Amino acid sequence: MSLIPFRTKRPTGMEPTSLATLADFRHEMNRMFEGFFSRPLPTLPWFDTIEPGQWLPTVDMSENDRQIHVRVELPGIDPQDVDVSVSEDRLVIAGEKKSTAESSGEGWTHRESRYGSFTRAIPLPESVDPANVTARYDKGVLTVELQKSPASTSRRIPVTTAAK
């Protein structure tokens, strides 16, 4: 008879049930990571419309009292393949990326082609004057300057008192 019988029944981590538990844990971890890396950022709802391999240009936007400044990175895109349109509340930038690179040597040729179209619809924080918009393309960067409409600019209203 043992003085401390529970020590003989203490699990060592090597029993068949604990090995099955570790295998189940490993299987669940593998399944979780396969689902996580199969699509870019699957938890964010705005990525649901992006297909694998699709490309969207990055956009930076800033504003001051008179204008809204939008900077879009479009590397490798010909300016003639870019379309910019504006309404009072939305700036739409669409285009197509086409590029082909080829290299060859003795007995081999390597060619890569990249192509695809994109559309970015950017909601504007305030109304703009569609007649007063400029777009400039320089070294792969599109810069769009939108003048705010006179109705949307703020002005200070003086407060008067009633004369007695």
- CATH fold of 55-148 reads Immunoglobulin-like (2.60.40)
Question: For position 52, what pLDDT does the model report?
Answer: 54
User: How far is residue 61 from each of residues 67, 94, 117, 134, measured CA to CA in Å?
Assistant: 11, 17, 22, 15
The per-residue pLDDT for range 61-115, each reduced to its tens digit, is 998 888 999 999 988 888 888 999 987 688 999 988 877 888 888 889 988 877 7
pTM (2 d.p.): 0.56
Q: Where are the domains of the chain?
A: 13-50, 55-148
Question: Quick one: which of 109, 57, 106, 105 has its CA closest to 82?
Answer: 57
- Pick left, alpha or beta for residue 135 (phi over 0 → left; psi -120 to 50 → alpha; otherwise beta): beta
